[in-house]
């Protein structure tokens, strides 16, 4: 039987892939391409990933782009913010950004990645892409589904938060959100951690769901400095602290822009 070391195997697979891109696509592979394929082979890409760069076009505010930005920070990926184009929007052009006309659904945020054609819209789709290249989607589909269900719960909580801003009775909406909605949304997550006995939501290591939960908690805290969304939820508080220690998430959190949605 042919025996290869992990590094030999790594080199062989990488070279095969580079050869494939050259011969079949007649393109030079970008860092992102190489990472994508190596990720499927389950290599530990922490160091390589630091060299990746993606661009999110959005205003310099903490709102719809923040999930993707937090996932990038947790995964060691540099997410550039093109707020210059956002400030010129809708009339920025191909030289400095993506105009409203060129945004798939006429809205921001939008994501562009060096070497990739087109533009990705919809904050959740952008976040999902970033989570994937960050290696934060579990490779086992069942564990990934566990992460996805918590992800959906957190985005649901975020949608309820944003709705407060547009409510006819804003004060009442924010009060209900803080006193009732957050507790209803988070109580089952606390129960889930109690049942699994793990620190994280999906399996025994961090995944996208933990970062999305972390982010929604930051959004709640930023929307109302008097709020205490983790009151009575010790396991969620432990999860949050473990997540904060991932990649450059703590540093990202300390530099978050002003929130758009606020009591
Ligand atoms: N479902 C979209 C909503 C995007 C959205 O509402 N974008 C707003 C800014 S947060 C926008 O571009 N508004 C300007 C416009 O619609 O012209 C997402 O989550 O990305």
**Cβ atoms within 10 A of the Cβ of 55, count?**
17
Across the chain, what does the average pLDDT equal? 89
User: In whole angstroms, how large is the CA radius of gyration of the chain?
Assistant: 20
For residue 68, how far is its CA from the centre of ligand 1 (angstroms)? 15
For residue 54, the surrounding DSSP H or E stretch is strand 53-57
Per-residue confidence (pLDDT) for residue 154, from 0 to 100: 98
Structure token digits, residue 137: 């989607």
Instruction: Tell me which of 6-20, 63-77, 169-183 is least confident.
Output: 6-20
For residue 159, how far is its CA from the centre of ligand 1 (angstroms)? 13
pLDDT at 4 over 60: no
Best mutation site among 66, 67, 107 for ligand 1 pocket (most ligand atoms within 8 Å of CB): 107
Overall average pLDDT of the 148-174 stretch? 97
User: How buried is residue 204: exposed, middle or buried, by Cβ count under 10 Å (0-12/13-18/19+)?
Assistant: exposed
State the pTM of this model: 0.85
Alpha carbon distance 56, 154 (integer Å): 21
For the CA of 122, the closest atom of ligand 1 is: 20
Q: What is the CB < 6 Å shell around ligand 1?
A: 63-64, 107-109, 122-123
Alpha carbon distance 72, 184 (integer Å): 29
Residues 89, 100 contacting (CB under 8 angstroms): yes
Residues 6+ apart with CB under 8 A from 227: 178, 182, 220, 221
For residue 42, how far is its CA from the centre of ligand 1 (angstroms)? 35
Residues 221, 231 contacting (CB under 8 angstroms): no
Q: Whose CA is nearest to atom 6 of ligand 1?
A: 107
pLDDT at 46 over 60: no
For the CA of 121, the closest atom of ligand 1 is: 20
Alpha carbon distance 114, 55 (integer Å): 8
For residue 59, how far is its CA from the centre of ligand 1 (angstroms)? 11
Q: Whose CA is nearest to atom 1 of ligand 1?
A: 122
Per-residue confidence (pLDDT) for residue 3, from 0 to 100: 47
pLDDT at 248 over 80: yes
Whole-angstrom CA distances from 43 to 5, 10, 205, 206 are: 13, 8, 16, 16
Confidence of residue 115 (pLDDT cuts 50, 70, 90): confident
Per-residue confidence (pLDDT) for residue 73, from 0 to 100: 96
Residues 6+ apart with CB under 8 A from 82: 55, 56, 57, 58, 96, 97
For residue 96, how far is its CA from the centre of ligand 1 (angstroms)? 20
Residues 83, 60 contacting (CB under 8 angstroms): yes
Residue 247: CA count within 13 A, CB half-sphere: 27
- Residue found under tokens 């079949």: 24
């Amino acid at each position: 039987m042919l025996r290869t070391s992990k590094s030999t195997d790594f080199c062989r697979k990488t070279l095969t892939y580079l050869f494939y891109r050259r011969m079949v696509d007649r393109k030079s592979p970008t860092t992102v391409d190489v990472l994508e394929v190596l990720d499927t082979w389950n290599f530990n890409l922490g160091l390589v990933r630091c060299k990746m760069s993606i661009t999110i076009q959005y205003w310099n505010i903490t709102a719809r782009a923040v999930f993707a930005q937090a996932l990038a920070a947790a995964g060691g990926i540099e997410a550039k913010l093109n707020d210059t184009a956002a400030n010129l929007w809708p009339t920025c052009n191909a030289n400095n950004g993506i105009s409203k006309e060129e945004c798939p659904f006429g809205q921001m945020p939008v994501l562009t990645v060096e070497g990739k054609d087109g533009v990705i819209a919809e904050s959740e789709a952008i976040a999902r892409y970033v989570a994937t290249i960050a290696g934060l989607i579990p490779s086992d589909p069942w564990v990934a589904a566990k992460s996805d269900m918590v992800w959906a719960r957190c985005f649901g909580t975020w949608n309820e938060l944003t709705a407060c801003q547009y409510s006819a009775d804003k004060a009442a909406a924010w009060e209900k959100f803080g006193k009732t909605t957050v507790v209803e949304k988070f109580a089952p997550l606390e129960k889930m951690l109690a049942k699994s006995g793990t620190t994280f939501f999906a399996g025994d290591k961090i995944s996208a769901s933990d970062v999305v939960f972390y982010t929604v908690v930051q959004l709640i805290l930023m929307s109302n400095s008097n709020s205490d969304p983790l009151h009575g939820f010790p396991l969620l508080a432990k999860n949050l602290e473990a997540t904060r220690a991932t990649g450059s998430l703590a540093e990202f959190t300390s530099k978050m822009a002003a929130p758009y949605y606020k009591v």
